[in-house]
Structure 1
């Protein structure tokens, strides 16, 4: 079912003679996407999926079917030195008609005003067409740099977003020169950091080298602008993968989500839940990422990876293959396609698959590691030992993470449990991030409850759910002691993770955090709190609202803007629930509180 409040912004078409105007067209599209994503209750297709349709002729029906939206924007830009004409059209994908179009003739020097003006126009017309949306007075804050500098920034980002080695380095070079001119402009630092992280993630640079190069730029960006959603998201990654502090990681990720809904933020939270072993909850967040960005390869890969972790190998493979269809050079899917074949009882097919890999997969040890795993499973001892020896030679190189991963997995398949734990201990001592995703690995099940292994893992992530035996639920529901126990646990989860800030939170989401069936959680809420699900969650949202509405920083916001920031997703629900609990309207509450 398609969300009725959903929109995609297709890349604006450059109809100028100057090819350099392409940078502005892409930048304008991105800014409008980011601006609309700030509107509560509006589902906005992310950049990657929108740009999948760049330079393609598509129908309204195709957009509706492929992006699952009821409206989309298309436009064009013609620019000269003194004049810019931007044409925008809004199309209904259900009935296939253009219900609004506008032409903006503006001075190119007023680029920030243009972006905000167009975003607000779109938001207003969308509200007229699909129903109520709470829209702020400004959606795009002006950037304090000259327009010429901003255009040069867009040029650098244009090349970085092409996602290949040559163009990424070209974009990095442009932005490095820009930083020398305007050292206090945070955007170039964030994008250079992004470029290096992408190069490392895709295997186009050794990961260690790429992340090492990326870090100074991220630190400078955080110094200049710590409160943007991008900065908060990067901080979340650092807290998880470098500092191994999941509580802080969640805090930063949820702050990023409060600022702007984006698929990579949902993907990040899914990553963190995976580390904790909360795979059902990880699926829920990943589905939200896929909904916003169905054409991002990494989202499809991660869906397949989650199914792999749950030992649903035949379900995993199509998602992993879809990821490669979208991004053939993505280095992760081949690993898990091969391992899924291996673990589903097809070692010879897996061996053939790993043997056929070329390019990036050879460079990042996937071919060598995968074949060695297959030899272990096929009891081809001599070939397996040769592979192990070759993998060990990479332990002192930039490929140390991948070498450790395959050495651990091969030894697990051989049943060398003590060797596995020795390697895991070395990975822990070297603070290798791979350790965190070994937690839920199905291949490591034989050592999961070994005391040494548990001690290492619990030092990394305390109270990890991977080490709790799967509960066998009795036919009867929870008894009084269990209700007391789980009530306390649920309150802690709601406080730590602020789940109520997610407007789409469901009973199933809560159940996945508690690792209980939904029926049990429904009973828990009813008997432990004397509330149904909506009443329980909205109580947290109400308290959040009461705290936020009096903050100085929120004085310029409407009541409903703060309500939406607090997790409510309906004006009617908010007003009705507020009056039921407080005995007065929100306006009366505010006046009464201010008097006191």
Structure 2
């Protein structure tokens, strides 16, 4: 079922011949996406998925099917020397009709006012169509830079978002010039930082070189605004992958999420849950990321990666292949496609796959390490030892992390457990991020219960579900601060995933989302909300019913049909809880609101 409070903003069409207008069109689209994402109750498709449809002719039905949204925006921009005409249309994907359109004739110099005006206009029209939304007085704050410099910024952003090496370097050069002219403008610093990190991650630059180049721009952005969601997200990555402090990593990621929900933040939290071994919760977060950005190659890769970690190899492969379809240059999926084939017993197919890799640099080590694992699995010791010797030559290179990873996996497959553990200890001593990923890797199951391995994992990941001591239940299960923490988390989970729409939802289901025993969640509901399970869940269902029953599209439905759509499965329970919570009957509520 598609969330009625969901929207996508398709790239605005450039109706002028001037390439400069193309930069503005993309920039306007992105600003509107970011502005609408600030509205808490609204689910907004991320930039990647929206821009997937740039220059493509698509129907409302296709948008509904592919982006899973109830509404979308499309528009165009035509500029002349003294005038800018922006046309905006809002389309309902269910009934395929344009329920409003508007034309704005404005002065091109008033860029920031135009962006905010259009974003607010869209939000207001959306509220009229789908129901209540909390909308701030301003959705886009003006930037204290001259319009000419802001246009240069849009130009630089336009090039780096193409994501290939040449355009990234071109965009970075433009953005560096922007920072020299407006040194207090935070956004270009963040974009340069992100561009370098992306190039390092994808192997377009050596990772160490890329991260080193990125760091000064991040530090400047942090100096300008430490509370920016992008700064908080970067701090989160640093705490996780450099400092191995997952508690602080979560704090920064959740702060970023609170400021502005975005798919890459959900992906990041999914990543941390994976490191701790909380794979079911990690799946919940990656599913939310995919909902917001279904055309993100990284989101599809990570979904496949999680399925790989859960040893669901046949289910993982289509997601990994989809990731490559969306971004053939993504370096991660090929490794796990080959490993999936290997672990389901298709040994020769895995060997052929690694031998025929295209587009993956030799220095990525995917082919070398992949073949080493294959030869280890089929016990071709001679070929395997040659690959091991070659992998060992990379231990003194910038690819030390990947070399250690493959050497650990290959030695486990060969049954050389002591050698594998020696490599694990060396990787730990070198503070290599691969240590965090070993915790859930299926191939190393034979050494996971080894005392040496357990000791390293607990040093690296103290809150490790694989090895930590089980909590002994106590009379007072949760402390006051824990109740407050989990209370907020549970409310957010209910809002994000609409669990209450499941009529068979149980206390154990809630407990699985919070990674707590059911006894703890029962106490949380009692002390944190002063409600039992039924009261807590049915309050959400009653509020859902109140919104749905007033929608134009539901006028032909009976009250109980709407109640069932809202998660109730009993007429008696519905009527009882509605009257208890609202102090009136559903019929009286509907009659009163129709009169008003």
Match of 1:511 in 2: 512
Mapped partners of 1:184, 1:455: distance in 2: 47
Q: How many residues align?
A: 533
Q: Which shows bigger deviation, 418-427 or 72-81? A: 418-427
Match of 2:428 in 1: 428
Match of 2:359 in 1: 359
SS in 1 for 2:101: strand
Mapped partners of 1:515, 1:370: distance in 2: 38
Summarize the alignment of residues 36-435 of structure 1 with structure 2, pairs less than 5 Å apart. 36-435=36-435
SS in 2 for 1:109: coil
Cα displacement string for residues 445-489 of structure 1 (whole angstroms, at most 9, x for unaligned residues): 1111211111111111113112259x9xxxxxx9xx747485469
Match of 1:550 in 2: none
Cα displacement string for residues 47-100 of structure 1 (whole angstroms, at most 9, x for unaligned residues): 000000000000011001110111100000011232111100000111111111
SS in 2 for 1:428: helix
TM-score after normalising by structure 2: 0.85
Match of 1:17 in 2: 17
In structure 2, relative to structure 1, the CA distance for the partners of 1:317 and 1:267 (3 Å cut) is same
Mapped partners of 1:417, 1:452: distance in 2: 11
SS in 2 for 1:140: coil
Q: Quick check: 1:494 aligned with 2:479? A: no
In structure 2, relative to structure 1, the CA distance for the partners of 1:467 and 1:320 (3 Å cut) is same
Cα displacement string for residues 245-301 of structure 1 (whole angstroms, at most 9, x for unaligned residues): 111111111111111111001001100100110000000011100000000000010
In structure 2, relative to structure 1, the CA distance for the partners of 1:170 and 1:442 (3 Å cut) is same
Cα displacement string for residues 186-222 of structure 1 (whole angstroms, at most 9, x for unaligned residues): 1111001110111111121122221111111111111
Match of 1:8 in 2: 8
> Could you tell me how far 1:532 is from its partner in structure 2?
3.0
Match of 1:443 in 2: 443
Mapped partners of 1:322, 1:486: distance in 2: 44
Residues 376 and 414, structure 1, Cα contact 8 Å, conserved in 2 = yes
Mapped partners of 2:52, 2:288: distance in 1: 19
Mapped partners of 1:344, 1:434: distance in 2: 24
Residues 209 and 398, structure 1, Cα contact 8 Å, conserved in 2 = no
TM-score after normalising by structure 1: 0.85
> Could you tell me how far 1:428 is from its partner in structure 2?
1.4
Mapped partners of 1:98, 1:288: distance in 2: 28
Residues 408 and 424, structure 1, Cα contact 8 Å, conserved in 2 = yes
Mapped partners of 1:154, 1:303: distance in 2: 32
In structure 2, relative to structure 1, the CA distance for the partners of 1:152 and 1:398 (3 Å cut) is same
Mapped partners of 1:140, 1:335: distance in 2: 42
Q: Which shows bigger deviation, 86-95 or 394-403? A: 394-403
SS in 2 for 1:134: coil
In structure 2, relative to structure 1, the CA distance for the partners of 1:24 and 1:269 (3 Å cut) is same
Mapped partners of 1:194, 1:535: distance in 2: 45
Cα displacement string for residues 524-573 of structure 1 (whole angstroms, at most 9, x for unaligned residues): 6578987434867999xxxxxxxxxxxxxxxxxxxxxxxxxxxxxxxxx9
Consecutive unaligned residues in structure 1, runs of 5 or more: 472-477, 540-572, 580-596
Mapped partners of 1:497, 1:370: distance in 2: 44
